[in-house]
């Protein structure tokens, strides 16, 4: 069976691309896998694909991704109709590719699957309108959490929830004695950049022992650099744009922080859970509460409640027995993201 994944930009190096890499590599053992990346904004990716996978860069790169970008993607599929008709299944990865695939689906021979990576309400208004009009054309829609199931089922009756999984394997208990909070994510509005900066600023005025390890790039990169300098936090924040070894970063930290405004099913929380790392996160509509058991494997905080977020950080760092309890709980929660069970669900979809 030949399977094609459509990616907006595989070099983007986000959680969606990481999950695409994980799934494609696993499926390549049994299927003929191709990935088509419409754009390539970065020179390289940190997510390495199996040599058996065919990777195609369409290089449809606009200066800025906008409404009209989708027409370029649609044109590419139409101009390569024979190529795409050679596949048994075509899977869109993320809302942009899913809209494009749903528009083209009636003229494609392949089974078409839209694989969503954000929560239902975490998309711009025009995308929500297009989704209502077009998603019925897809053979199937795969979503990440049950909380969105009924909403997506109104768009496409053949909707199924499948969790993300990680290829990380537990190696050792995190270094809980390391006084280090970890943040991994884009420096963007979606990831709650401004709340994160305010939390750091307030926390550092109260505590001089614990530091922050930040891994992330994004539209607020320059703002973050200015923030660190203006608040004299160079000695408190260890910041890298990217990391090729997230697992080691997790293992060398005591707690993961997440201040997102909305999420799908964040990979970094699943990876932290697999590695027994507790987390403190805002309670977005979907995502964190699917992974974190409040007060058992970490803490869930109402969105934008910076004071309570800081209180949970202080509670965590002041009680080593609590840290150990939450670490054990995090590892326990990771069992529901078992790779073999999730792969079995994907194979069932492909073989239907």
- What pLDDT digit, counting tens, does each position of 157-189 carry? 999 999 999 989 899 989 999 999 999 999 999
Residue 42, pLDDT score = 66
Percent over 90 (pLDDT), the chain: 86
From residue 124, give the alpha-carbon distance in Å to each of 120, 129, 189.
Answer: 10, 9, 13
Model confidence at 64, pLDDT cuts 50, 70, 90, reads low
Outline where DSSP puts E strands in 242-347: 255-258, 279-282, 298-301
69-78, 95-104, 227-236, 339-348, range with the lowest pLDDT: 69-78
Model confidence at 61, pLDDT cuts 50, 70, 90, reads low
The stretch 235-244 carries a mean pLDDT of: 96
Average pLDDT, the chain: 94
Find where tokens 């697992």 sit.
247
Model confidence at 63, pLDDT cuts 50, 70, 90, reads very low
Maximum average pLDDT range among 23-27, 121-125, 170-174: 23-27
- Dist CA 39 CA 56 (whole Å): 10
The stretch 125-147 carries a mean pLDDT of: 96
Residue 325, pLDDT score = 98
Is the CA virtual torsion 68, 45, 35, 134 positive or negative? negative
**Contact status, residue 192 vs residue 155, Cβ threshold 8 Å:** no
pLDDT at 192 over 70: yes
Q: Order of strands across the sheet with 111-115?
A: 54-57, 32-39, 2-9, 89-93, 111-115, 140-143, 159-161
What pTM did the predictor assign?
Answer: 0.88
CA 146 to centroid of chain Cα atoms: 17
């Amino acid at each position: 069976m030949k399977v094609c994944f459509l990616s907006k930009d595989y070099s983007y190096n986000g959680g969606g691309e990481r999950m695409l890499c994980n799934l494609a590599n696993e499926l390549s053992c049994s299927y003929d896998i191709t990935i088509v990346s419409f754009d390539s904004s970065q020179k390289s990716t940190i997510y390495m694909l199996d040599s058996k996978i065919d990777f195609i860069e369409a290089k449809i790169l606009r200066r800025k991704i906008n409404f009209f970008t989708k027409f370029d993607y649609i044109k590419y599929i139409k101009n390569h109709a024979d190529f795409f008709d050679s596949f048994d299944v075509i899977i869109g990865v993320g809302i942009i590719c899913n809209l494009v695939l749903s528009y083209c689906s009636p003229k494609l021979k392949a089974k078409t699957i839209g694989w969503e990576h954000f929560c239902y309400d975490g998309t711009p208004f025009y995308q929500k309108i297009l989704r209502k009009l077009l998603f019925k054309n897809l053979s199937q829609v795969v979503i990440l959490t049950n909380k969105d199931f009924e909403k997506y089922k109104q768009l496409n009756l053949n909707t199924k929830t499948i969790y993300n999984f990680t290829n990380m394997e537990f190696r050792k208990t995190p270094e809980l004695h390391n006084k280090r909070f970890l943040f991994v994510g884009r420096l963007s509005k979606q990831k709650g950049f401004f709340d994160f900066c305010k939390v750091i600023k307030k926390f550092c005025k109260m505590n001089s022992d614990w530091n922050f390890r930040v891994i992330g790039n994004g539209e607020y990169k320059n703002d973050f650099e200015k923030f660190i300098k203006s608040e004299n936090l160079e000695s408190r924040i260890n910041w890298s744009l990217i990391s090729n070894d997230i697992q080691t970063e997790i293992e060398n930290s005591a707690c993961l922080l997440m201040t997102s405004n909305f999420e799908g099913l964040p990979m970094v929380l699943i990876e932290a859970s697999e590695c027994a790392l507790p987390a403190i996160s805002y309670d977005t509509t979907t995502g964190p509460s699917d992974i974190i058991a409040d007060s058992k494997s970490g803490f869930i905080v109402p969105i934008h409640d910076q004071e309570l977020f800081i209180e949970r950080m202080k509670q965590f760092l002041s009680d080593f027995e609590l840290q150990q309890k939450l670490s054990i709980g995090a590892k326990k929660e990771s069992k529901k993201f078992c790779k073999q069970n999730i792969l079995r669900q994907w194979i069932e979809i492909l073989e239907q």
